[in-house]
């Protein structure tokens, strides 16, 4: 029997329990750094040293993090479902937990690219994760993090739209649904596709009126989701 396809849209709340700072919550990263300075292409052009310093710190913070029970729960669900994950997160905790189909909308923290092209990537050495102005890619251009900044196109949005449009079940975890184009992905879900939204805070979407809300953290929410799916006998 063909497995049901579950497409998961994950955001910062997915990795919060792994110790990765979210951006928008109280004490989040945006309270300490203006987004236009450290996470936009214009900010990088104005002050590349500041942006590289910001992401060097993000990498050092990340190196001590591990997948949480939520990541592991999603990976375990591959035994029962055809799982596809579309994440706004730049960590690779989904992959570390064992998920085998992951689309990163906003890039990957532990990879670099040349400022001249985003088609060739260079893995970051965890022992030497820092980038500095003057560090060059093999093509002779400055290296930068493989991050999709504000003001840049989102190359993986079309593959993400395709995944959502083919979903049997859609699960949204730990995202404010405020950042576009990712927030607009709900509009591509089939009209008869059940949608579950997991977040400890109230999150409301105008895309659909039939969303099933699970107000819980990612780890607890995925446990409750698995129960709900079994009871619904999808």
SS3 107: strand
pLDDT of 175? 85
69-76 vs 218-232: helix crossing angle, rounded to 10: 30
Q: Please report where in the chains the tokens 């110790």 appear, as a residue.
A: 19
Query: What local confidence, expressed as pLDDT, does residue 31 receive?
Result: 52
- Give residue 194's pLDDT: 95
pLDDT at 21 over 80: no
pLDDT digits (tens, 9 = 90+) for 40-61: 999 999 999 999 999 998 999 8
Catalytic residue, chosen from 106, 132, 191, 204, is 106
Record the pTM: 0.91
Active site residue 106: yes
pLDDT of residue 184: 87
Residue 27 gets the label, from left (phi > 0), alpha (psi -120 to 50) or beta, of left
pLDDT of 26 reads 45
Lowest mean pLDDT among 92-101, 175-184, 220-229: 175-184
Q: How confident is the model at residue 68 (pLDDT cuts 50, 70, 90)?
A: very high
Cα 10 to chain center, whole Å? 5
């Amino acid at each position: 029997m063909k497995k049901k396809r579950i497409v998961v849209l994950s955001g910062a709340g997915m990795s919060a329990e792994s110790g990765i700072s979210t951006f928008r919550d109280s004490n989040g990263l945006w309270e300490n750094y203006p987004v236009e300075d450290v996470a936009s292409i214009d900010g990088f052009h104005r002050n590349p040293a500041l942006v590289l310093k910001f992401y060097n710190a993000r990498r050092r913070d990340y190196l001590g993090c591990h997948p949480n029970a939520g990541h592991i729960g999603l990976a375990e669900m591959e035994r029962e479902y055809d799982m596809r994950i579309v994440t706004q997160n730049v960590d690779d905790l989904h992959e570390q937990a064992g998920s085998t189909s992951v689309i990163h909308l906003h890039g990957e923290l532990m990879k670099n690219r040349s400022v001249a092209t985003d088609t060739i990537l260079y893995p970051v050495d965890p022992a030497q994760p820092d980038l500095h102005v003057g560090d060059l890619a093999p093509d002779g251009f400055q290296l930068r993090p493989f991050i999709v900044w504000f003001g840049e196109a989102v190359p993986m949005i079309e593959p993400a739209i395709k995944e959502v449009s083919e979903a049997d079940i859609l699960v949204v975890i730990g995202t404010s649904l405020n950042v576009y184009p990712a927030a607009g992905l709900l509009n591509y879900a089939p009209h008869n596709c059940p949608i579950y939204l997991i977040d400890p805070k109230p999150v409301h979407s105008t895309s659909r009126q039939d969303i099933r809300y699970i107000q819980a953290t990612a780890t607890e929410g995925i446990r409750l989701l698995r129960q709900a799916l079994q009871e619904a006998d999808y």
